[in-house]
Amino acid sequence: MISSILLRALFPCTVVVAVFGAATAFSPATSLATAPSAVSSYAQAVRSGVHTPSRRASDSWADSVGVYTAAQAERGKAVYTAVCAECHELEDFTHEDFRFDWNGVSLYEFFENIRTTMPDENPGTLAREQYVDVVTYVLKLNELPEGPEEFTADSASASAVLLSFPPRGK
C-alpha cells in the first residue's frame, strides 16, 4: 500500500498497463495514434473514468468501462437518502480529497470498506444489494460512466476494476 501511494505521488502522470503478460508505459502526452492498440483502448477507458480488464478476452478494454446501471445508481440514491444522508453530505463523496484518497483503488476494496464500516453506528447491517447500490450512486456522483450490466461486487471482477476519477470540468 505504501509503495502504491509513493508511486502515485512520484509518477502521477504515468500509467503502466499489463496486457497479457507484457507491460507498457505511457504518459498523457503520448500520442494515442502511436501507442499500442491495448494502451490506446486503456487510455480511452482511463479518460472515461473507470478502467478494467475485459471480462472476455475478445472484448477491448474500453468495452467494459461502465460497471453499473442507471437503475442501480437510482436505487443507491434512495438508500443514500434514507440511510447515509443522516451523517454524510454529498460532498463527502465528491470532494477532491475523496477522489485523491480512492483514485487507483480497486472497486472491490472501496465496496468492502463501505460494507464493513457503514452505517457508522451499526456496520454491515444493510443488505448486500443496498451496499452495492450505494457504491454505484457514488460512482455516478463522480461522473463515472454507466454501463449495460449491473455491478455485482463479486471479488474477482470488482478487484480488477480500479477507480480513476475524471477531472472536474469547470
Residue with the three cell numbers 477531472: 167
Superfamily of domain 70-163 in CATH is: Cytochrome c-like domain (1.10.760.10)
End-to-end CA distance of the chain: 32
Backbone φ and ψ of 162, nearest 5°? -105, 135
Share of the chain above pLDDT 90, in %: 57
pLDDT tens digit sequence for 6-24? 434 433 333 333 333 333 3
Q: Which of 17, 80, 50 is nearest to 142 (CA)?
A: 50
Report the distance separating Cα 146 and Cα 165, nearest Å: 14
pTM recorded for the entire structure: 0.64
How is 111-145 classified by DSSP, letter by letter? HHHHHHH-STTSTT-S-HHHHHHHHHHHHHHTTPP
pLDDT tens digit sequence for 112-135? 999 999 999 999 999 999 999 999
Q: Where are the domains of the chain?
A: 2-64, 70-163
Using DSSP, state whether 15 is helix, strand or coil. Answer: strand
Model pLDDT, residue 83: 97
- Whether the CA torsion 107, 136, 111, 129 is positive or negative: it is negative
Model pLDDT, residue 10: 39
